Amino acid sequence: MDGRHDLDLVLRSRTPIVVIESQDEQRMLELLQSITISRASDSYAPLFRWTITDGLQRIDISLEPQAINAQPSDVLKHIRAVSKPGIYVLLDFHPFLDDPVHVRLLKDICMRAQELNRQIVLISHTVKIPQELESYCARFEMALPSESDRTMIVKKAAREYAKDNQGARVQVDRKAHELLIQNLAGLTWADTERLARNAIYVDGAITRSDLPDVMQAKYELLNRGGALQFEYDTARFNDVGGLARLKSWLQQRRAAFRGDGGAAHLDIPKGILLLGVQGCGKSLAAKATAGIFGVPLLRLDFGAIYDKYHGETERKLRESLKTSDVMSPCVLWIDEIEKGIAGRGGETGTTQRVLGSFLTWMAERHSKVFVVATANDISTLPPELVRKGRFDEIFFVDLPNDSVRTSIFAIHLTNRNQAVKTFDLEKLGAATAGFSGAEIEQAIVSSLYAAHAQNEPLASKHILAEIEQTRPLSVVMAERIGTMRDWAAGRTVPCD
């Protein structure tokens, strides 16, 4: 009702041109019809719709279709010539606004709009108004469905299912129903109706099994720029080797982030910055964060954001951040953040604008988006990003110790269907001092090839042989890693 009321106020203001950027064309037409029909006779104005395919038709009353003036110039000349009140809805007129003849015709209509009570409503997914017409325009943005609206939409879909299936009642899990209504937030009316209908019509029920499909469909609708990657099933990352202190820190904040129980009065955690040695599990820690919180994971690819055209990079970043807001609650993982905002050669101006947009979003957002940024070199990050308050904490992911290396061996061997009890994990852990988790995994992969070539089952001896031939990064780049570890000591919180 609020959207209808606001649109009615805009129309009553007698603004000559009302611009509505929306993909929900049908709903906008229904609102305009409702507003027109409900008006008193003294303020009544007929409602017309124009499309390039069907021409101009009256839609506030039921009439036989009589399409006229299909060409843009013809319909504008017709509107200019008419001396009676009317509201003219032009659908997808945006490609024709570059024509100077159309601009002049629109200006002629606007200058006599108050005298003749004529209004033009432009509805399209995007409308760029020429400067000479800006002073005659008002923009209207339709509010997205509220929680009560989404509840009503889900109930309507359930009634439609019962009608289509001989009165069969939709089976509803109460908690799943609440989550479904929550997860449908941020979509247009048409998209909300479609996803609610899909969730119900699959099995005639609303259950937790519907939620991943709803979130996946929602993500695909919102992420048209391709800069975000989505992963809903993050629970399996909850159990990872090491990171004990980080896991404990996240568990303490899980209830506050999700709003569970009596934690509603606590501040919502903002995010963490993960610094560390390459291959030691920063990416896995980001996934584990989503698993511990029990929410989807979005990965922001800065490489896909940067664009050669002026202003496009900032626009893509704003759209990606807006998508993450709509997808909340979620974890937003920004991998190797220093490569995106720490300077990119000659693109200093663009980089500064990207940094400014990102910092503004971090400071002003109210959505439940937990940011996990990873970096290999914090010295290249701007001070305004790492100052206290931007992130809740800065963690350092160091090379794994003996016990963590042992657990990493157990995890990777289990993942490859190996009988863990047949391996000497203590010996393997001791032999890989200075190895990262990625290097341990690669040693197992290489030893599997070696065992297969020898036609033998994988054993500790094969893994030890591969370890003997490997020079870990901690040896190859000992000076650089040593400098990083020295800097992190006292400035960051260890993950283990």
488 belongs to a structural domain:
no
496 belongs to a structural domain:
no
Which tokens hold the place of 138?
Answer: 């008002």
> Could you list the residue range(s) of the whole structural domain that residue 98 is in?
2-140
Residue 379 CA to its chain's centroid (Å): 29
Same domain, 56 and 128: yes
Total structural domains within the chain? 4
349 belongs to a structural domain:
yes
Helix (H), strand (E), coil (C) string for 192-223: HHHHHHHHHHHHCEECHHHHHHHHHHHHHHHC
305 belongs to a structural domain:
yes
**Given this model, what pLDDT does residue 101 score?**
95
Same domain, 246 and 306: yes
Q: Which segments of 267-421 does DSSP mark as H helices, in order?
A: 282-293, 302-305, 312-326, 338-341, 348-364, 383-386, 402-415
**Given this model, what pLDDT does residue 133 score?**
93
Query: Does residue 111 have a pLDDT over 80?
Result: yes
Same domain, 273 and 208: no
Residues in a beta bridge with 331? 297, 370
Same domain, 189 and 60: no
CA distance 237 to 291: 5
Query: What band does 13 get if pLDDT is binned at 50, 70 and 90?
Result: confident
Query: Does residue 377 have a pLDDT over 70?
Result: yes
Report yes or no on whether pTM surpasses 0.75.
no
| Run of H or E residues at 9 | helix 2-12
3-state secondary structure of 275: strand
Q: Rounded mean pLDDT of 355-373?
A: 87
**Given this model, what pLDDT does residue 475 score?**
85
CA distance 25 to 127: 14
Domain boundary residue among 377, 397, 417? 397
| Run of H or E residues at 124 | strand 118-124
The proportion of the chain whose per-residue pLDDT surpasses 90, expressed as a percent, equals 24
Same domain, 382 and 413: no
Same domain, 390 and 407: no
Domain boundary residue among 117, 140, 163? 140
Query: Does residue 191 have a pLDDT over 80?
Result: yes
Same domain, 312 and 420: no
**Given this model, what pLDDT does residue 346 score?**
44
Same domain, 162 and 116: no
Q: What is the pLDDT of residues 236-272, one digit of tens each?
A: 666 677 788 888 899 898 888 887 766 667 888 899 9
493 belongs to a structural domain:
no
- For 49-90, the DSSP string reads EEETTTEEEE-SS------B--SHHHHHHHHHH--S-EEEEE
Same domain, 169 and 101: no
**Given this model, what pLDDT does residue 47 score?**
92
Higher pLDDT, 92 or 229: 92
422 belongs to a structural domain:
yes
* 399, 277 contact by CB (below 8 A): yes
Higher pLDDT, 73 or 494: 73
Kindly list the distances between the CA atom of residue 463 and the CA atoms of 281, 422, 440, in Å, as whole numbers in the listed order. 21, 13, 9
Mean pLDDT is lowest, of 11-25, 76-90, 202-216, for: 202-216
Same domain, 181 and 314: no
**Given this model, what pLDDT does residue 445 score?**
93
Which tokens hold the place of 490?
Answer: 């006292």
What residues contact residue 395 under an 8 Å CB cut-off, 6+ apart? Answer: 245, 246, 249, 272, 273, 274, 275, 276, 285, 492, 493, 494, 495
490 belongs to a structural domain:
no
Same domain, 392 and 422: no
484 belongs to a structural domain:
no
* 238, 292 contact by CB (below 8 A): yes
Q: What is the pLDDT of residues 81-108, one digit of tens each?
A: 988 889 999 999 999 999 999 999 999 9
Domain boundary residue among 191, 222, 253? 222
CA angle centred on 269, ends 241 and 337, rounded to 5°:
65
Query: Does residue 437 have a pLDDT over 80?
Result: yes
Query: What band does 66 get if pLDDT is binned at 50, 70 and 90?
Result: low
Kindly list the distances between the CA atom of residue 158 and the CA atoms of 140, 181, 215, 456, in Å, as whole numbers in the listed order. 31, 13, 19, 59
Give the distance between the most distant pair of CA atoms in the chain: 94
CATH of the domain at 46: 3.40.50.300
Same domain, 210 and 157: yes
Q: Rounded mean pLDDT of 351-367?
A: 84
CATH of the domain at 418: 1.10.8
CA distance 312 to 359: 18
Mean pLDDT is lowest, of 225-239, 374-388, 463-477, for: 225-239
Give the position of tokens 């020898």.
Answer: 454
Q: What is the pLDDT of residues 296-348, one digit of tens each?
A: 888 887 777 776 666 677 777 888 888 888 878 889 998 888 877 765 444 46
CA distance 451 to 462: 7
Mean pLDDT is lowest, of 38-47, 312-321, 336-345, 447-456, for: 336-345
